[in-house]
Amino acid sequence: MTSATLLHLDSGISPTGSVSRTLTDRFAATWRARHGDAARHRYRDLAADPVPAVGAAYDTLGRRTERKGPLPPEDVAALAENPDEVREWALSRPLIEELRAADTLLLGSPMYNFTVSTGLKAWIDRVSFPGAYVDPDTGARLLRDTRVVVVAVRGGGYGPGTPREHFDFQLPYLRAYFGALGVTAAHLHVVTAELTRAADVPALNGLEPLAAESLAAAEAAVDELAAVL
């Protein structure tokens, strides 16, 4: 089996009792066992070790780069005109190259206020540098073969037919984002666990059986994906 690379990101703010972290750990353990010692597992905790928010210099350098068209990462540094721009690129480039090098991206994403966490949004903003995922010579999308596994965890219920279906700005956002980055629909896998707060939020009391069913389905889904990706 050829060597493979897994980039594993957790973004939940709770270090203990986190359903998203439990599910991503489950995926990663199965994935590592399948791929063996040659596999590379890169882990980032976006809550404990947050990615710095982008600043004005990131925007300025990004706009200047965008006017040039897609460039190799080594050419972007030459466009920086001041220390702030140098710093912004120095913070961004390792994360971009880490994503480009991954065969599989595993993303733990709890829902906060109907969308993604601030830690995940900061990572998204930081890695979304203009032209970073386009081959400058051919125009090919560099993430076209990258597999993305999104483990989406929600305290309530937001699935089709539920009263809060239209409150879900988490999954539509992530689907649109990774699609725009060049990840194909066939390579974007979404696992959801819902009603995870059923046992402790009074308004959700009585929905514990549905919560258990959703969690069991999510566990089976991560096991199945980890066995084939």
Strand, coil or helix: what is 81?
Answer: coil
Asked whether 175 and 121 are in contact (CB, 8 A), the reply is: no
Instruction: Record the pTM.
Output: 0.95
Asked whether 60 and 76 are in contact (CB, 8 A), the reply is: no
Residue pLDDT, tens place only, 66-117: 999 999 999 999 999 999 999 999 999 999 999 999 999 999 999 999 999 9
Q: CA-to-CA distance for 63 and 102, rounded, in angstroms? A: 26
Q: How far is CA 72 from CA 55, 89, 178, 209, in A?
A: 22, 13, 21, 52
CA-based angle 175:131:61, to the nearest 5?
A: 115
Strand, coil or helix: what is 42?
Answer: strand
Residue pLDDT, tens place only, 200-225: 999 999 999 999 999 999 999 999 99
